Chains A and B, each alone.
Chain A
Amino acid sequence: MPLPTDDDLVARWKDEPAPLLPLLHAFHDRDGHLSDDALRAVSAGLRVPLADLYGTVTFYHHFARFPPGTSAPRVCTGQVCRFQGGLELLEALRKDGATPMPCAGRCDDAVPVLEGHTVKVGRTCETLEARSSPLPPPNPDGLEECVFAAIREPGRATLEGYRATGGYEGLAAAVAGAPETLLTTITDSGLAGRGGAGFPTGVKWRAVRDAAGGPKTVVCNADEGEPGCFKDRAIMDHDPHAVLEGMALAGYASGAHVGFVYLRYEYPETAAVLERAIREAEEAGVLGDDVLRSGFAFRVHVRRGAGAYICGEEGSLLNSLEGKHPFPRERPPFPVTHGYDDLPTVVNNVETLASAAQIARRGADWYRGLGLGEHAGTKVISLSGDVLRPGNYEVPFGFPLRTLLHDWAGGPGEGRTIQAVTMAGISGGFLAGDDLDVTLDEPAVRAKGSMLGAAGIMVFDDTRDMLEVAHACMEFFAHESCGKCFPCRIGTQRLTERLAGAAGPDALDGWSGEVRDIGAVMKATSACGLGMAAPLVTESLMRYWPERVAEHVESLS
């Protein structure tokens, strides 16, 4: 088959919703990179200024402007992967033009290498192979799960398998009733945003329903870019219909008829899984113009990101989806009134939507009852690093961290002890020492000066140099800082330099003073969560390992 022409590609996408990213991907896939001519064709085809388009394309890590482009491997050098041979693998693959990429969301199955649209995993060139992402390990205590309740059932990722295990029953019941009934169920369940912000889902859906103007939109935030987080990938790979069902529920409750899944670039197989699931659901009348013959119309489109952590921030995500430069937006106004195309929009995380599907089927009381004590529901934890059994574990809120680390995940390696963990991927900084005696719920973790967030937890045993870890974390934030606001753009750079010993005072007082002042201004004044969270890394480093910091600064003089 001859390759499509520029005009073919433009014609294919120009009248689709949110066309810029898929059109760029179409050229990127065809040519392996985005040439000047490709950008000119996109600029003319979509009537976007060429300078803007050029600038925006250069924002994304994975859009290659020149050959070898997509044919060159990209090797994960995230925190966990660099303990498992990531850096050595990168060096070994340099002969093929390999470049590093930040955490690619496969910390439970290291080391991922992205080659075109295939993720291979392995710790050496010889063992690299393409294989499907791991299923969540069953929890040893047999605690009841929500999101993972049926994910291990064979065939669950197909429409047939999904329906055989209760799938779309919740949607069928919801669309047979009034949206109000569904809103009440979700609100009463206590479900709150599982991407980390924890905003009550029912309140959000209702706010969109009540907002003036339309058309309204549902956006599934599947840009799982937080280092150490790989839960959304597991959900989408093995239970894609749960996400689609959750989106349809959100649409029905809020009055939206269009949904987007904004999927991170590093999950190409997941994109294929989702596309297939959407096709199946539309063919079966589960999605489309007449959802389950209720008269309610709902369609879902997958839009792939192109490598930018900040696009997990909802304002950046919406700008990216609209084809704009992916800077965060000032809030208020919030997406519930000014979201996609400045119209009312539900933005929910993958896990939130998958939970909603279960809640619609099994009820608010059932879900509330899953949590421990006063906490409602469950949370999926992505656990990786120095534990014997890394993976995604669904725990009831209020579950003790140490039980998860030792009893469920097997603890550290033989003869080792756990020195520290990260929280919220790396956005919560570190917990160590007695602070590891914490329960997994937002109030408890916040009381330790951290946050649970999206609940990626990376584990470091007593052999790890936490200063080095902190440096790698800050380097990530600096790499991913969008450049919109001064405190984050300059702050992440300066903190990275100080942790690297590349610049800054060589006396402890001066060093600590600068690091504290930068951290304080970032936490208080940054334009979005990235800049506010990044200083938790240096803060917790200085709190738990003051001697290591002193030794580092001393070595500079």
Chain B
Amino acid sequence: MTTHDHRTAEDAEALTARLTLDGVEVPFAPGETLLEVSRRHRKDVPTLCYDPRLDPFGGCRLCVVELEGSRNPVASCARAAEDGMVVRTTSETLEGYRKTLVEMVCSENRQVDVDPLSGYASQELRELADRYEARTGRFEGKRSGRSKQDDDNPFILRDYDQCISCYRCVRVCAEQEGDYAISVKGRGFDTQITVEFDGLLKDSACTFCGQCVQTCPTGALADRKALRHVDTPGEIEKTRTICTYCGVGCSVDVLTKGDTMVGVQPAMDGPANVGALCIKGQFAYDFVQHEERLKTPLVRGDDGELHPTTWEVALDKAAEGFVKARDEHGRHSIYAIASGRAPHEAAYTTQKFIRAGFWSNHVDNCSRA
């Protein structure tokens, strides 16, 4: 995962505070955690409950590192770097703990492998299970979490059988989205992600922004729309673009398989959104491939009905209408509104057309609202 808050090595070099990281003295910035320093130095410290956008939580304990002077290893995500610390990010003992922890986590779920269409972070547990060769079947026993099968909302699959209680969904909902829709019910192994009174998302404070889906490391919360395309042939390709719906300018990756658009994921390094999206940018893209979408120009005939025609004919007809309006009522009689569902190129072309074509600034976009 890319952090939005990367300090460059030069920035840090200017600072006098230093710690020893795996035998090498390194500078750090005030407020950096041991995990941030470690990742900046490309140490592959594993995590499951960590999302760089959220406050440190210290739940999964995979990120524990050895800190000289400390009896037990410390959770690097939650420990602030201090001058003179001596830190080891890997050792046989640490890797042993990490393997046991990943094996324990695997034991509480129905399956480790989930389709990558489930969500942005959905492969994190699978990758760790591979890295630690943790598919050993050790520590088997009761499974945690109960899927909320009666929630048939079209966007978010609540497959809590796959939940590992990292609370990233709860925290992203509160800290990033400010919705406070998701919370933790019960305790211990019976912990269950829930909403008020155990209800459906549509009856809760949820706005279906999809943030919980994209931060979930196991696919327990999954993108139901994207999962419609599990069997669509082809590799998933990601194309970076900007959401067209409004003026914020959220960066998104459009997911495609072949010629088919299969989903949208927020760009964690998007400067305007840092991984955030709203329900529209996240889920409202069905119009792109909708069967009722116009694919040929239509021109109204003398019979009052619309008839398919060629672009040449249609453009001539439109030009004729514009010219007539301008000549009869003046250039300010023409006003264009570009659609938030049209591509950026169309929005650009629209304003160019009005400005250059009619010498008018009477142009707007529905997404400005």
A→B interface (CB under 8 Å) = 36, 39, 49-56, 58-59, 308, 310, 325, 330, 332, 478-487, 489-494, 497, 502-504, 514, 517-518, 520-521, 523-527, 532
Contact = CB atoms under 8 A, between A and B. Distances in A.
Contact of A490 (B108, B180, B185, B205): B108
Given A486-B60, A497-B142, A51 B204 contact: yes
Contacts of B56: 330
Interface string B89-125: 0000100110011001101100000000000000000
B214 interface: no
Interface of B, helix, strand, loop or mixed by DSSP: loop
Contacts of B139: 490, 494, 504, 514, 518
Nearest to B63: A525
Given A518-B100, A524-B97, A51 B181 contact: yes
Contacts of A480: 187-188
B194 interface: yes
Nearest to B173: A51
Given A478-B189, A479-B188, A484-B58, 16 more contacts: A50-B196, A51-B183, A478-B188, A481-B188, A482-B187, A483-B187, A486-B59, A486-B164, A487-B101, A489-B191, A490-B105, A490-B189, A493-B188, A504-B140, A518-B100, A521-B101
Contacts of B222: none
A483 B183 CA distance: 13
A492 B144 CA distance: 13
Contacts of A485: 58-61
Given A51-B183, A492-B189, A527 B205 contact: no
25 contacts: A36-B197, A50-B196, A51-B183, A52-B183, A310-B187, A330-B58, A330-B75, A332-B79, A479-B188, A483-B184, A483-B187, A485-B61, A486-B104, A489-B188, A497-B142, A503-B140, A518-B104, A521-B101, A523-B72, A524-B73, A525-B61, A525-B72, A526-B61, A527-B58, A527-B75
Interface of A, helix, strand, loop or mixed by DSSP: helix
Nearest to A36: B197
A520 B182 contact: no
B180 A52 contact: yes
Interface residues of B, number: 51
A494 B61 contact: no
B60 A51 contact: no
A518 to B, nearest CB: 7
B101 A486 contact: yes
Interface string B162-195: 0011000000001000001111111111110011
A486 B61 contact: yes
Nearest to A497: B141
B138 interface: yes
Given A504-B141, A525-B73, A483 B191 contact: yes
Contacts of A494: 104, 107, 139, 141
Contact of A58 (B60, B105, B141, B185): B185
A491 to B, nearest CB: 7
Contacts of B140: 503-504
Contacts of A332: 79-80
Contacts of A483: 165, 184, 186-191
B267 interface: no
